[in-house]
Every structure is written in structure tokens, then in C-alpha cells.
Amino acid sequence: MLNNIGLPGLLLIAVVVLVMFGKGKVSSLMGEVGKGITAFKKGVSDGSKEAEAAPQADVAKDVTPIEKEKV
């Protein structure tokens, strides 16, 4: 469905959004989107650094019960 939009369709959508919300509202909205993307990237990089620094003591252990032989 979205494969057929193209450049003229995107320009039309941009003009409609600009007319509906105004220049100031669109610019502040884009600023907030940029801040959100920056915060997301920072969180991802912090998480990967934290995962690398974590000790490797969290190795999975086999905890299945051992059945005793019946005689």
C-alpha cells in the first residue's frame, strides 16, 4: 500500500500537515522526534555497554533431577 506513494504524494502530505498544524507546531514536533531518537540510541548503547561489562557468571546450569536406578 505504501509502495505507491512516491515523491508527489509525500509532498502533498507534507503540505496538508503544514497547513493543518502550522509551521511552529510541526517544527516543535520534529524536535521532539529528534530528541526521542537520540534518547533511544543512547539507551541502546548504554545497554550494550552494560551487557559487555556484566560478569559471565550467569552461565546456565543443568538442574534436571537425576533418576536413581531401580533394583
Could you tell me the pTM of the whole model? 0.50
* Residue owning grid cell 506513494: 5
pLDDT tier for residue 3 given thresholds of 50, 70 and 90: confident
Residue 21 confidence (pLDDT) = 86
For the segment 19-50, what is each residue's pLDDT rounded down to a tens digit? 988 888 888 988 999 999 999 999 998 888 87
Residue 31 cell numbers, joined: 524536535
Domain ranges of the chain: 23-51
pLDDT tier for residue 12 given thresholds of 50, 70 and 90: very high
Angle between helices 23-53 and 6-21 (to 10 degrees): 110
In whole angstroms, give the CA distance from residue 57 to residue 33: 39
More confident residue, 61 or 42: 42
The runs of H, that is alpha helices, within 1-71 are 6-21, 23-53
In whole angstroms, give the CA distance from residue 71 to residue 67: 12
